[in-house]
Amino acid sequence: MHLLNVNTRKLERFGDSNVPLYAILSHTWDDVEITYQDIQSPGIDKRPEYEKVKRTCELAATHGHDYMWIDTCCIDKTSSAELSEAINSMFNWYRDAAICYAYLADVELNDPDSLRLPDWNSDFFRSRWFTRGWTLQELIAPRIVVFFNRCWREIGTKTSLKEAISSTTGIPPEVLLGRELQSSSVAQKMCWAANRKTSRIEDRAYSLLGIFGVNMPLLYGEGERSFERLQEEIIRVTDDYSIFAWQSFGTPSGLLARIPDVFQNSHDVVLDNSLPPSD
């Protein structure tokens, strides 16, 4: 695991047994981001997109942390092995972080009190951060999530805004607070992912690996087959039959769902592993 030293702004590699406390960033990508290769280049701090790296490092230092993890620059995406390890480990990395900073670049100043209502006209609830596939696990996994607007002004925390966030995402407050994820049904978890977007088709499945506690190899280029493979892995490790509780928008193509969107009405499907009595 590569971590960014917030003081030197240099990457350091740690094995599983010696990872220090670290802060972590959740954000939506801009057209240009600082990459693993960029962060190691001289003069990188002069580029405008470095501001996000700078501000997150400053926040981490303020909270007493020496290390920061940022997906754009802490993963060598030219290495397929490292990328696969990172994606399969990412839920755990967010879960184990001391604090997660959620940077909402499209949100202006907000009155935090209005968000608890919630104020549906607020740009907080219209932020694309709530529509992306990867940010689902970044919302659920960390114990502490602090939201910042585009000017890096603190909006609130996952705990202080839990009811409002639950209303807009459909994720129960107890799951947001780190409880009850394992007792939520497969269908409910799929429902939370419905209609979220990713740049790559395959990432709609890969971004859900940690939420379902499964691992699988990454095969970019396989398209929607990735979501079928995800369901096959879930079936292999669980007896939760709610995985079949989806509604087709067109002609059904088989027993497994084609995309997470077909689970959008499954938020009330509870976990029930009981088989019907035999005749």
CA distance 127 to 162: 16
pLDDT tens string 211-266: 999 999 999 999 999 999 999 999 999 999 999 999 987 666 688 999 999 999 99
Calculate the average pLDDT of the chain: 91
pLDDT tens string 184-205: 999 999 999 999 999 999 999 9
- The reported pLDDT for the residue numbered 164 is 87
pLDDT tens string 105-124: 999 866 666 666 666 667 88
pLDDT tens string 81-106: 999 999 999 999 999 999 999 999 99
- The reported pLDDT for the residue numbered 278 is 41
User: For 8-31, what is the mean pLDDT?
Assistant: 95
pLDDT tens string 250-260: 666 688 999 99
Percentage of the chain beyond pLDDT 90 is: 81
Domain boundaries, the chain: 1-180, 182-279
Q: Is the confidence at residue 274, as pLDDT, over 70? A: no
